[in-house]
Amino acid sequence: MNPIGRYEVLKEIGRGAMGIVYLGRDPKIDRAVAIKCLRPNLIEGQAEAKQRFQQEILALGRLIHPNIVTIFDAGEDPRTEREFIVMEYIEGVSLAEMLKEGEGLTPDQVRSIGIQVCHALDFAHSKGVIHRDIKPGNILLSPALSRAKVTDFGIARLDRGNQTQTDRLLGTPQYMSPEQCNGEALDGRSDLFAVGALLYELLTRQKPFPGENMTAVIHHVLTKNPLPPAQISPQIPQQLSEVVMKALQKAPHHRFSSGREMAHALFFEMPRSAATDEEDEEGGTLRLSAPEEPFPSRPAFFRKRSRLILVVMLIAIAAILGGLARKGPGKPKLSSVARVKEGRILLSTHPSGAEIAINGERKGLSPLTLSLPAGSYELAVTKMGHHPLEATINVLPEQEVPVDLKLSKEERREHKSLQAKISGVPLDFSR
């Protein structure tokens, strides 16, 4: 197959109404990539399609997050004049493929996927990006099902200050919020409604708003409430069912206010019968992605015992702390249970040799591997002669997260080509 830009094209791996996706290879660094190209028949005569394609580039350009597909490069092929996006290649399956094949997921696996998608959307919303098309086909899973990534921002809306924009009926009806069906103004809570519909289908293998045509589906979205998942299957925990139903509330103010809030609601203590300890293909157990600020469930004995026991425990703790204080300056050892779980960031830049700072503290030059406690960090990347980058990165417990950044050279201000605006990694990370 003919190359696209400097990238070798190996095979076609997917296509949609607007674009075709190829598996490719970057010969400069010998890396597999996914290349999304605007369909040839849309190049001429359909300015709206090209605008939506550029919208996806701009949306992805703002986002670096472990649960969002990363953009490496963007441009126009000089030979065919086709615009393209170069993204990380996810070797796995989409949720749509899993549903089609009839592969089952445990409630705990569904919950893990939901938490990761909520984290991704919370980050996107914080950068002014609303996805507007969350559905099974736009959620990719790693081969071991341990990592979920959101993709396809083709109809995303970007907040641009005071600019007025009318939201058209774009999206997939089965997962669209009532306000999206009505063509009203949207915010991040519309995406969370779609997450609720997605989780409902993964748990029950039924769409929450069925219909033989788009009109029937939209009627159900606007007027009907689905049966709670826990009433469909006794294997679905009641608390998980309640989270899904809250996300599916008709009025936005009755839903979760943010992806972070919904992720926290999903992070609860699962009944032992509903959880899974089966090992995945990589030899690890599928674990939940902890919220950026840990909110663990309260131990069972706090819920079942009287307040008297809690008072006794507090008195005992106070006595222990008093004893430690009397022993002098010696530091008590942390137990292994109390240690905060760490994750690893595999950070590389192109070109290499960029200075890396985390939360304002210099860590060294790229490429760099960092072990950090699970949580959210501010990343700053600087290199002489290149535009500086700032981004928020999320470290997940006991997981390795690759962060690959392409730095753009400082050029003349009058050069305004698409390639200069978007060069693999967003230039709009400053707050």
Active site residue 77: no
Q: What is the 3-state secondary structure (H, E, C) of 391-406?
A: EEEEECCCCEEEEEEE
DSSP letters along 342-373, please? Answer: EEEEEEEEESS--EEEETTEEEEESSEEEEEE
Cis peptide before 351 (omega within 30 of 0): yes
Cα→Cα distances 373→149, 155, 357, Å? 21, 35, 16
Check: CB of residue 91 under 8 Å from CB of residue 140: no
Q: Which of 430, 411, 427 is nearest to 71 (CA)?
A: 427
Q: Which helix (H) or strand (E) holds 124?
A: helix 107-126
Strands of 342-350's sheet, edge to edge?
368-373, 342-350, 400-406
Residue type, 45: G
E runs forming strands in 168-245: none
Q: Annotated catalytic residue: which of 73, 108, 133, 167?
A: 133
Place of tokens 């109390």: 338
Taking the C-alpha atoms of residue 417 and residue 5, their distance in angstroms, rounded to an integer, is 15
Return the exposure string of 35-58: e unless at least 16 CB atoms fall within 10 Å of the residue's CB, then b: bbbbbeebbeeeeebbebbbbbbb
How remote is the C-alpha of 303 from its chain's centroid?
A: 33
Strands of 139-141's sheet, edge to edge?
93-94, 139-141, 148-150
Annotated catalytic residues are: 133
